[in-house]
Every structure is written in C-alpha cells, then in structure tokens.
Chains A and B, each alone.
Chain A
Amino acid sequence: MARKSWMYSVLEAVQYEMQQDPNMLWIFELTPPVASNPGKPVINLEKEFGRGRVVNTGIDENWMVSATLGAGLAGSRAATYVPYQGACMPFQVIQNHAGKLRHMTGGKASMPVVFVMEMTGQTPGFAGQHSDYEIDTYYAHIPGVKTVIPSTPYDAKGMMVSALRDPNPVVYLYPAGLRELIEEVPDEQYEVSLDKAIVRMEGSDLTIVGSGASMPEVMKAAEALKAEGMNVEAIDLRSLKPMDTETLVNSVNKTKRLLTVDQSYYTLCPGAEVIARVAENVDGARYKRVAFPDAPPPASPEMFVWMRPNADHIIGAAKKLVG
C-alpha cells in the first residue's frame, strides 16, 4: 500500500498481468508505458518486456486497435493505449468488428482485449479536437463491448485488472484530466467489477449521478450541498455498459430526485441513459441534466470554461430540483 498516481496504479496492474502471461502484448504510440512514483521502482513495460511484446507504433490508431483485436482472435491477451488525439480513429474496428464478432461467430471468437481510450484533460485553450469529451457516449452505444470509466486511481487499477482478465473486449476510458489524482492504492492485484456503480456519498434528498472526469466536481458540489443541509446521494457510474440500473433505481426510489452530470455533450450523454432507466422504474421522480452544450469546445478559455459543467452549475441545478 502506498500513495500512487493514476498512471502508476494502472501500469502496476498491466505489469503484473504481463509478468504472469508471457503472451500478453501492449501496443502504444507517443505515450510510453512508463511511470514513476515516490518510493517505488520505475515501471517501464517496453524495457521490461522488450519490443517484441511492447511496441511503439507510428501514428496509426487504426492499426493499434485492429492489431490488438487480431492478437485476441489469435488467442493472446492484448491491450493498447490510444491517446486522446486519436480515440475515434479506430471507432469502426471496435463498433463493427470487436463489438459484433462474438455474436456473429455464434460465440466462437475470442477477444480478451482492452482498448485504453484516453479522453482529453478538457484543457482550456486547445479547441475542438484536443479539449473534447465525447467518446463515452459513442463507445457506450456499442453492443458486445464493455465500456468502463474509472474516476479514482484505486478503481483505475482494479478495473484495469478486471478488464485485462475479462474474456470480452473492454473499452477502458481514461479521462486524462484525472491524471493528477493520487491516493492509497494496494500493491497487490485486486479486481473492481466492470458492472457496478458505486455510491460515493449517501443521502436521501437528491441523487447526483456522474462518471469519469465529472466526478471531482460532483463530489465538490455534494460536499457543499451537504454543508448547507441537503442530504445528497452521489453515485459514480464507473461502468457505462453494462449500466448498473439497480443501484440507480434503488437510490432514486429513496430520493425521488435525480440530477445527472456529464462533461459529454447534452444529447445522448450517459446521463440521458441514466434518466431513461430510472424513469422506466421509478414513479413520481423529478429529473435534471447538467452537460456540456451541443457545441464543440471552443479554444477561448473564456468561452470554454463557461460551457464546461462545474460544481457551481451542479449546486445551482440541485437547488432548482430540491427547492
């Protein structure tokens, strides 16, 4: 147990699995699988396992994802880390191949593969292609692919272990804006399930549901509202597909008010699915959605920061729902 950064926690999980399984592969471009942490040995997968198993490709996300899938079909576990600039370049391979092959082959295709999809840090100033946060919606729509999105280093490691051990293709979304997070993370391997949301704060007045990069602001807002006397229940989705309907429904059955928070665009954001599932199962509840407007992120920080959902927006919306 030690305080660990996000990437160190994740690479610890990968390193262990690769040590156990000499066939397992890792494919990357631009982002070397290297991490250091105070008081811990440097992890460098390329050095440890060699370029035969850990390959630095050209800028070709299509190959990265296709090759990972192909390795899985040939019986080797494989994972790839696609940086945010290219996270939709290989969309078709995941949507039309990885997502459908098991079903189309009557269950014969083997696909023990993980696609690590980096989402941007939502950094102000970088405009449309480098500030966006939208692939959660796209990948969660695909049948046959599990799509998960941890929001803490602890979950990041545990869900990476589960993803690497899962016989299904997993899109493992990594909101890079969370790379600064540090927390206590066990040294040994442990699994965090790929189909369970988690209640981060218990309460009875209002349910707030977020995921990934929205969670720090959700928790900040929840703490502030709690200090003002509102009993907020805060839920971290963690898995977008499959979505943990039970945890959501149980919560809103209690609170009768649901606020969803997404950094993704409003239309079809994960919160839209959350509200639909709850509305089908809970009578007499009220709903609200906080999300990024249906506009690409502009470069100007003045425009972008105003559009990006934050704790103040969440607090305002919560008060409209509860007041």
Chain B
Amino acid sequence: MLDNPDHKNEERMSPMATSRRGFLKAAAMAGAAVSFGTSIARANGEIGFWAKDLTDQQLTDMFTTILRIRWHERTMADKMLTDPEYRGYNHFYAGQEAVATGVCAALRNSGGVMQADLAYSTHRPTGHALAKGVDMKLMAAENDFRATGLNGGYAAEMHLSDPEVGFMGADGMIGPGPVIATGSAFAIKARGSDQVVVNFGGDGTYATPHFHSTLNNAALLKLPFIYVLENNLYHQYAHYSYSCPMKDIADAAAPYGIPGIVVDGQDVIQVYNAAKTAVDRARAGEGATLIEAKTYRYYNHWGAPGAKPGELGAFGYDPLAISSFRPEREVRAWMQRDPVDIARKIMIDWGVIDAARAEGIEASVKQEVADAFAWAAEQPLCKPEDGLRHVFVEGTVEARQFG
C-alpha cells in the first residue's frame, strides 16, 4: 500500500480543511465541547450558514450544476419519448437536483479513491454523478451502451461509476450500498486520511436491515460518514408511509447518538449548509451524520411514462405502478417549489448573477447537454465478445452459449 500514508494525507489537505481542523483543535484545547454539532457552533458565534463563505464563482458553479442535471434529465426523457432508436433509460432525478448539488459542493471531488471524498449512489444516479464531477459526455455514452462510454458499456445507468472523482457508483439494489459505504469510511479512518464518505439513499432504504447496520457501525466506530437520505416520498411505487412509521426519517439518528438533520431538499443553500456541517464534523474525526432531505421527483420511478416531450415532469398514469400512483396535484404542488427556480432567485437576490446571466448560463448548459448526447450517439457499439472480459482482472472467461 502507501509507504507513508499519514504524510501524504497532510500534504493533500485543502487549506479550508486545515483551518477547520485547526479551529477544532483550538476549541478542544480551550475546553470547549468537542462536538461540532449545530448548537455548539452557534455557541461559538457560528450560525451554520456556511454559504456565507462561498465565492460568487462557487455559487455560480452550484447554480450551473443544478441546471446541468435538470437539462440532462429533460433531454434524456425527451430522447426516450421521441427517438425510437434511442435505447438509454434512466431513473430520473429531476426535482431533486438541489440535494446532489448542495452535498457535492461541500466535498472534495478529485484525486481518486485515496484522496477524493467518496460518494455512493443509487439506482437514480445521474444527478449525483454530475454533481460529483463525472464527465457528461462519457456518462451519456455509457447510458447509451457505447464501447467508449464511462464504463465501456458494461454498466449503463444503474452501475455508472467513476472512482477518479470519488463517484463510487450507482447501485441497482436497495440495502447493501450504505453498509459497503461504511466500509470505505472505516478504511479511510484507519489509514488516517481526512476523506469523508457520503451515501445517497432514498426513503426506501429505511426499511432495510442494512439501514440499522449502517448507522450502528458508523456510530460505534465514529466513522467519517454522512448518510444523505433523499426522502422523495416514494420508494418505487409505494409511499414511504408503507415502510417507515415516522414522519421524519432523520429521527432514526437519535438512538445512535449521531446528529439527525431534516433539510429542505429543494433549496440548495440549505442542503449545502447541512452538508458542510456534517462534512466538517466527519473530517474532524467526530463521526457520522444523518441528513434527511425532503424532496420530490418529477418523473415516475423509472423512465418517462406519463411524460410529454418538451414538458417537465410526468403526470399521466404509469402502467408499472399497477395499483398505486402519485396524485397529479401532489406532483404539481412540489413543482411550485422547484430547485432550479429557488436557486436562480437566490443567485439573483444575492447579486451573484443577474437574470440575463442566468439565462446565458442556462442556454450554454442546454448546448452542452445537446452536444453530449450528440457525441454519445456517434460512439461505437460494444463488441459482443468483450462481454467475456473484466470478469477477473486478468484474461477472459470462456464462451459457453454455443455448447
């Protein structure tokens, strides 16, 4: 492994992380409580509104990221609806953009698995991937099963991964992901790194036995781990009241003695503030946090049933839902608190950008997305026999389908 991991960790710490750690050490020596929970921060004059420290460029980048996710999703949905040649699919993230964006803005998003902060994603990964820094063109090609896609055409939407930016991967299963993520956090702590691990998971993950294992071990071992639970109200086709007896899933943190925070998932600034608090806590060796982001998805569980080309959201009947589906009025009510609109308004109100600049950014984002899908469509398809590669590091397995 590494010849001197501790030394390397110190070298690669960002100045902000260093000063935060310095502050904490000083606070601890001065006899202040070691916990960096919100209340302690406030006692020190900190209000937890970390967005105050962001530069205009950082804020503009966050707004741009939200738009990139939004237009990636809309463009892909339109392609699914209008282009019979297009084979890609997605579990669309539109409506939840502020969560991925706000969280990843508080993370280190480069340097590979030994340096970047690591994010574990879900079956609804494209927003997390873009926010974490995955290349949009490569992702579009992967989602279209191209040999030159992000994962060579082996993964597609549900298994996208790019460890280089710390995007540990989408996952088609509900359950094991967060537990695996705590293993990464355990390794990071053991090797003395200041990296943190974020697990994105939906409201459906609460019902799994893995949820307990995740929080229990994260708390027992004081892991640098943040569970970002995106409560979009529905796991697949069922309302979360079928799988969770509490209104706020964040309440589940209390028995483990870790902070459980409810945040408005439609407001990127609120998400960022909560994530930054949790990340600083984790980096300082103070353990895990559960953040529940209240949010909503504009499309149905999978694909674009009920959606119309050129229109945001899906309101029609989803045949996959069989006997349960989301009321149209609920979808429309959530769309009134749109994460793109909220972010745009904040940027303009704060004087970060003006309305014209916001429009310009959106136009260039749309162009970037169109270019990415066009590039992807020109990429080569996979060679059939390559399906026998990458089973092990070395060699290929034998073809058995011919007898």
Contact = CB atoms under 8 A, between A and B. Distances in A.
24 contacts: A29-B238, A30-B236, A34-B322, A57-B207, A59-B175, A59-B204, A59-B208, A60-B243, A89-B173, A126-B158, A128-B172, A259-B403, A288-B403, A291-B401, A292-B401, A294-B397, A295-B387, A298-B382, A298-B386, A299-B154, A299-B156, A300-B156, A303-B382, A307-B384
A264 B386 CA distance: 19
A313 B401 CA distance: 6
B384 A316 contact: no
Name the prevailing secondary structure of the B interface residues: loop
B333 interface: no
Contacts of B208: 58-60, 62
A56 interface: yes
Given A291-B400, A299-B145, A127 B158 contact: yes
A22 to B, nearest CB: 23
Contacts of B172: 85, 126-130
Interface of B: 87, 89, 145, 147, 153-156, 158-159, 171-175, 204-209, 235-238, 242-244, 322-324, 381-388, 391, 397-403
A302 B384 contact: yes
A227 B208 CA distance: 53
Contacts of A30: 236-238
A56 B400 contact: no
Contact of B403 (A34, A130, A313): A313
A125 interface: yes
A303 B403 CA distance: 18
Given A58-B243, A128-B159, A300-B145, A294 B153 contact: no
A141 B210 CA distance: 26
Contacts of B385: 303, 306
Nearest to A290: B403
A296 to B, nearest CB: 7
A190 interface: no
B177 to A, nearest CB: 11
Contact of B153 (A56, A89, A292, A298): A298
A306 B145 CA distance: 14
Given A85-B174, A126-B158, A291-B400, A58 B204 contact: yes
A195 B383 CA distance: 42
A317 B403 contact: yes
B154 A293 contact: no
Contacts of B401: 290-293, 306-310, 313
A44 interface: yes
A167 interface: no
B145 A60 contact: no
